[in-house]
Amino acid sequence: MFSMEMTLLIERCRQGDADALGELYKAYAQKMRGVCRRYISDEQAISDVLHDAFVIIFTSFDKLCDDRKAEAWMISITRNVASKYKDNQGNIPTDKRNTNQYKQVVKLTLF
């Protein structure tokens, strides 16, 4: 269920409020980790993918068109990052992570 509290949290995230980003992470990290587990079995890889997904989420709030769909949007981003990781069998060079390759994920998940 979407609430006014979530609307305020998203707005704070859009403004770059570090505390709000931390709250969002605490609220959704386990759920997003579960999404990653559908694609990846290695726990370290899951942690890496989860990190990458949240970097994209944190830097893309300006692309979220409907705050009520924030959770589905985050799930889609996480699913796409995990799927891309699996498709590449984890062979994503460290210096290329979170760059244009992953920014394409956001374009695929806009609502």
- The pLDDT, as a whole number, for residue 92 is 52
**Domains assigned to the chain:** 4-108 (1.10.1740.10)
In whole angstroms, give the CA distance from residue 99 to residue 92.
11
pLDDT digit string (tens) for 23-77? 999 999 999 999 999 999 999 999 999 999 999 999 999 999 999 999 999 999 9
31-59-80-96 Cα dihedral, nearest 10 degrees: -120
> Under 8 Å CB-to-CB from 3, ≥6 apart: which residues?
none
In whole angstroms, give the CA distance from residue 97 to residue 50.
12
In whole angstroms, give the CA distance from residue 105 to residue 48.
16
- The pLDDT, as a whole number, for residue 110 is 43
- The pLDDT, as a whole number, for residue 23 is 96
Q: Whose structure tokens read 């068109």?
A: 65
